Amino acid sequence: MSKTKNSKIETDDNDIGEAIPVSAVDDSSDEVHADGIDSDSIKPPKTGKSGFGLAISILLSLAALAASGYLFLSQNSRSQQITSTISTIESSLKTINTDLKDSRQQLQQSIERQSAETQSIKKSMTRLFTRVENTQQTWSVEEVHQLLQLAVDQLALAGNIDGALAALRIADRRIADGGDPELQPVRKQIARDIASLQQINRIDLAGTINRLRAVEQAIDQLPTDHQTPTTTRSEPAISSNASASIWQQLAQDMSSLVKIRRIDHPEIPLLPPEQNYFLRENIKAMLMSARIALLLKDTPIYRSSLQQAQQWLTKYFDSTSQKTKWVHTELKELAAIDPAPPLPDISGSLSSLKAVTESKQE
């Protein structure tokens, strides 16, 4: 029986921290459990060894209880820490949710402000584009006005047909590029003005000047009329025939003194060499004057210079010469040219544009 108790005690030493009941075998076979230890039910050990084992069991039970308490307290502390951490996390989540709500509200407000600003910018851009478009149209109309005025000035002041045509054509292209339907009447009038300019009987200015220079160069080669004296004094002929009568000699002398001439046209005396030179230079000066008048589009001076050259040519030069005939023909053809032909009125385009502009302003 004592051996049984000792083995039980050794087993209890190996399982520390657990409550192990101690069996006390007595004659009546009663069992006593360690969980429900009762001071009245514990019987004093009969021997010293059994009392020591009981003390050890009690100590072990107390240690197990202490360990269980420590474990409970430790778990309770950890549970409290976890609970505190959870509370902190929940608080943080609430704070984050609050911040998110605030951020969402701020973002929504910012989006609304941005949307309002975008709408305002769109309206401003629309107004700006409208102003720019109106400004461009104004610039286009002003440019067309300047071009039409330039065309009128070029034709009226300088007689520059090519310059007037160029200005009208550029103005027509500007109106076409602008696409303003209100300016279509102006384009129609521009087309009529261009047609009137194209119908002008224009001269070949460079060709006419070259023809005048060719005539001028030919003047030095023209033969003058009456280059030999029309009358020469005859010396009395001495007859070798001794039988010539006195009457024949007298008749010969009288015939040398009296000569019948036609006086339908007065005969031009022979020009001295120095006068011949100045005559040719005067004709050249008239041709040069005609060239200058041609450039200045001065029709009266141009034609009067050619007519004066023709008169001198007819009066002093041999009309039977082929060169003289050619010069006469050239001068007649050149005199028929009008350096300043009648010019049409192209101010209709400008007047039409002014009328359209005034109607827009009203």
Q: Annotate 200-259 with DSSP letters as a single string.
A: S----HHHHHHHHHHHHHHGGGPPBS--S-S--PPPPP--S-TT--HHHHHHHHHHHH--
pLDDT of residue 64: 84
Closest CA to 214 of 284, 268, 123: 284
Q: Which two tokens stand for residue 193?
A: 């003005």
Q: If you search the block for the tokens 């109309």, which residue do you land on?
A: 141
Residue 139 phi, psi dihedral angles, 5° rounding: -60, -40
pLDDT of residue 83: 85
pLDDT of residue 34: 39
Q: What is the dihedral of CA 24, 27, 30, 36, to 10 degrees?
A: -40
User: pTM for the full model?
Assistant: 0.47
pLDDT of residue 81: 83
All structural domains of the chain with their residue ranges = 2-102, 115-200+346-361, 203-225+266-340
CATH of domain 115-200+346-361: 1.20.120
Q: Which residues, at least 6 apart from 67, have a Cβ–Cβ distance to it below 8 Å?
A: 17
pLDDT of residue 128: 65
Written as tens digits, the pLDDT of the chain (362 aa) is 344 444 333 444 444 344 444 343 344 344 434 344 444 444 555 555 567 888 888 888 888 888 887 787 777 777 788 888 888 888 888 888 888 888 888 888 889 888 888 888 887 777 766 665 555 566 688 899 999 999 999 998 888 899 999 999 999 999 998 888 888 999 999 999 999 999 998 888 899 999 999 999 999 999 987 543 333 334 444 444 444 455 555 455 444 444 444 434 444 444 566 678 899 999 999 999 999 999 988 999 999 999 999 999 999 999 899 999 999 999 999 999 999 888 899 999 999 999 988 887 76
Cα separation of 203 and 193, whole Å? 20
